[in-house]
């Protein structure tokens, strides 16, 4: 039996039978008829998909029946069928929750047919959306998106668990390619906001002159080319989550604008005066050291403190030990499955080659390397010769390519690490286990 149940409530036996016959022409519909409001209400617990309701019933008024349906389940669409045309009555019924209102005439059955078609399409779409949301939820279970068993990754899991329990602002930091966007999605789709919008915006990818409009929207005629009103990303996110990627690239003008929106929880579209309330959760990501950017005057300190929230710092792939091999095997398996290829394994030499590489592009680079390796391999085993590592991004072993004095090597190593950690002297001193005064002295003496 069809799960699309239509209950017809109609006291006129002939008209009720005519409607039932006409609607039943669609074999996907299950149709039942009731002649009194009381009889129908006694069957309401059977949860009809749609109700067509005669406004003038012998025992209970159509308005009272409608109110009882709305009290039971406001999501049941109710089509009112009336013997008289009364605009004020129709308006009142629509305000009370009726889906549609038709006057009985020769065209009524066709109008009801079309209305039922629209209702069913809408319900099917809602089911599809719910199914997709459920699928997305499963997809973004932590272990499904962030692969690894290293202590650094286990710490990330712990922080994500904390992040999903409240709506605290989250700042995700780490080098390019470490998976900051995936962590943002994992937080959203495992939080109480999972069924609400997740809106991502890459600050660095939008021209400076367009970013305000992109984030906050604009009114028609606000500037040349604004031919229609545009809803901004903050407004689009509603009560869901807005993910601001590469926030460190935002200029000072937009930083002021963003700070005001975050503080006041309201915005004005460009060229408009209407105050629009915003209540989206904010997650940001950057590969920059924002604290250093504040010191340099590139990032506002007040905005920095507003955005810091719970910080999740993703470790680079080179610091994740055997996670490199775990991820490599995962990417190989996924690529083979997607392309209907026979499973491939990694030779010992291939594994050693991967473990000795620095991966400046992190997980994103590893994925590209392994997909190419699958294509290049001539057997079921991927050998070291199948793995192509970019000469431009090879390991720091290049420091040994040319013979030098010990002091010369020291200079090269310190210079390399300063470039690697964005001239963060304290971080470099910690990594190399040397005094920061040593680095300051070498800079002062122009040795590096």
State the pLDDT at residue 395.
Answer: 44
Q: Which tokens hold the place of 156?
A: 């990330």
Q: Which tokens hold the place of 183?
A: 């962590």
The residues, any chain, with a CB within 8 Å of residue 331's CB and separated by 6 or more, are 366, 367, 370, 371
Question: In tens digits, what is the pLDDT along the chain, a chain of 448 residues?
Answer: 457 899 999 999 999 999 999 999 998 899 999 999 999 999 999 999 999 999 889 999 889 999 999 999 998 999 999 887 778 888 888 888 999 999 888 888 899 999 999 999 888 887 777 666 655 555 555 556 678 888 888 899 999 999 999 999 999 999 999 999 999 999 998 899 988 999 999 999 888 888 999 999 999 888 888 888 899 999 999 999 999 999 999 999 999 999 999 999 999 999 988 999 999 999 999 999 999 999 999 999 999 999 999 999 999 999 998 899 999 999 999 999 999 999 999 999 999 999 989 999 999 999 999 999 999 999 999 999 999 986 434 444 445 555 667 777 778 888 878 876 778 888 888 878 888 888 888 888 878 8
Residue spans of alpha helices (H) in 344-397 = 348-355, 362-376
Contact assessment for residue 374 and residue 341, using Cβ atoms and an 8 Å cutoff: yes
State the pLDDT at residue 402.
Answer: 58
State the pLDDT at residue 136.
Answer: 54
State the pLDDT at residue 438.
Answer: 84
State the pLDDT at residue 140.
Answer: 53
Bridge partners, residue 157, by sequence: none
CA distances from 209 to 160, 242, 253, 266, 367 (A): 35, 20, 11, 21, 34
CA–CA separation, 162 and 168 (whole Å): 9
Question: pTM score > 0.85 for this model?
Answer: no
Residue 391 is inside which H or E element, if any? none
Q: CATH number for the 4-131 domain, one of 2.40.50.140, 3.40.50.2300, 3.20.20.80, 3.40.50.300?
A: 3.40.50.2300
Q: CATH number for the 317-393 domain, one of 3.40.50.620, 3.30.365.10, 3.40.228.10, 1.10.8.60?
A: 1.10.8.60
CA–CA separation, 346 and 351 (whole Å): 6
CA distances from 258 to 29, 206, 255 (A): 52, 15, 5
Does 1.10.260.40 match the CATH number of domain 142-313?
no
Contact assessment for residue 40 and residue 7, using Cβ atoms and an 8 Å cutoff: yes
């Amino acid at each position: 039996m069809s799960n699309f149940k239509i209950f017809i409530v109609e006291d006129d036996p002939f008209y009720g039978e005519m409607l039932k016959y006409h609607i039943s022409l669609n074999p996907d519909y299950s149709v039942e008829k009731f002649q009194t409001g009381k009889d129908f209400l006694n069957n309401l617990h059977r949860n009809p998909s749609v109700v067509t309701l005669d406004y003038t019933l012998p025992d209970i008024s159509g308005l009272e029946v409608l109110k009882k349906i709305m009290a039971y389940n406001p999501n049941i669409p109710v089509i009112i069928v009336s013997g008289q045309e009364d605009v004020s009555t129709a308006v009142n019924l629509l305000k009370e929750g009726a889906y549609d209102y038709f006057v009985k005439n020769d065209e009524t059955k066709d109008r009801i047919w079309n209305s039922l078609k629209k209702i069913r399409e809408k319900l099917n779409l809602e089911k599809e959306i719910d199914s997709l949301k459920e699928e997305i939820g499963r997809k973004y279970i932590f272990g499904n998106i962030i692969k690894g068993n290293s202590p650094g990754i286990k710490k990330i899991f712990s922080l994500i668990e904390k992040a999903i329990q409240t709506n605290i602002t989250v700042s995700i930091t780490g080098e390019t390619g470490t998976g900051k966007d995936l962590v943002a999605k994992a937080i959203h789709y495992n939080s109480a906001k999972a069924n609400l919008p997740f809106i991502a915006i890459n600050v660095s990818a939008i021209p400076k002159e367009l970013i305000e409009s992109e984030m906050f929207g604009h009114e028609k005629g606000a500037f040349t080319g604004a031919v229609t009103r545009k809803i901004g990303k903050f407004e689009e996110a509603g009560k869901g989550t807005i993910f601001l990627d590469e926030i460190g690239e935002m200029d000072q003008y937009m930083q002021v604008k963003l700070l005001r929106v975050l503080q006041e929880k309201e915005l004005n579209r460009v060229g408009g005066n209407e105050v629009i309330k915003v209540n989206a959760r904010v997650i940001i990501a950057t590969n920059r050291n924002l604290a250093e950017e504040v010191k340099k005057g590139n990032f506002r300190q007040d905005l920095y403190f507003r955005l810091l929230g719970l910080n999740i710092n993703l470790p680079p792939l080179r610091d994740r030990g055997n996670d490199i091999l775990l991820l490599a095997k995962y990417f190989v398996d996924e690529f083979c499955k997607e392309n209907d290829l026979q499973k491939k394994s990694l030779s010992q030499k291939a594994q050693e080659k991967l473990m000795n590489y620095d991966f400046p592009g992190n997980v994103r680079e590893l994925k590209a390397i392994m997909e190419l390796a699958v294509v290049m391999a001539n057997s079921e085993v991927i050998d070291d010769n199948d793995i192509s590592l970019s000469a431009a991004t090879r390991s720091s072993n290049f420091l040994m390519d040319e013979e030098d004095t010990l002091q010369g090597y020291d200079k090269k190593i310190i210079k390399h690490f300063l470039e690697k950690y964005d001239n963060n002297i304290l971080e470099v001193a910690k990594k190399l286990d040397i005094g920061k005064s040593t680095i300051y002295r070498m800079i002062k003496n122009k040795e590096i």
